[in-house]
Amino acid sequence: MTDTYNTADCDQCGTCCKVFGDSISPTMENIYWWLVNDRTDILRHFSACFEDSTWKQCTELRPDEIFSIVAVELRDPDTGSLVSVCPFLTRVSKKRYLCSIHMAKPEMCDNYKPWIWGETYLRRCRTIVEQEQRTPWQNDQII
């Protein structure tokens, strides 16, 4: 439960985004915000399922339809097929990845912290690995 690091410590290795894979699910507030701000670049990657089991690409949603959505999935915008990796993860160098929608990313990404033991802990997070490799003396210097 300890919040050992803060988000600014992220080493941008991209591992947590790769682990999320296709399971990114925005809140209805995320979708509404993307709709009113005309973020079709984001909406086109998501499809919504309604109470009657019909699907619609999120770019075609009307704001009043949001309340009838029962599920939202990442889908290939051209084929409608399921995807295996988040389309917003962008490799910017050999070992560094960025989120191409960082300022508008889904709430679950915004809140995710891989260093919360027992909840969302991700052993492969590079920030955790590198901090654990430091000597106790080195860790004292960065507090």
Residues making contact with ligand SF4 (CB under 6 A): 10-17, 20, 24, 86, 88-89, 99, 101, 105-106, 109, 114, 122, 125-127
SS3 label, residue 92:
strand
Smallest gap from residue 52 Cβ to ligand SF4 (A): 28
Nearer to ligand SF4, 13 or 69 (CB): 13
Q: How many CB atoms lie within 10 A of CB 83?
A: 16
Give whichever of 53 and 88 is closer to ligand SF4, judged by the CB atom: 88
Residue positions counted in the chain: 143
**Nearest distance from residue 30's CB to ligand SF4, in Å?**
10
Task: Work out how close the CB of 72 gets to ligand SF4 at its nearest, in angstroms, rounded to a whole number.
Answer: 13
Cβ-based neighbour number of residue 109 at 10 Å? 18
- Write the burial class of residue 97 (CB in 10 Å: 0-12 exposed, 13-18 middle, 19+ buried): middle
Of 57 and 131, the one with the shorter C-beta distance to ligand SF4 is 131
d(CA 116, CA 112): 9
Q: Which is nearer to ligand SF4, 50 or 130 (CB)?
A: 130
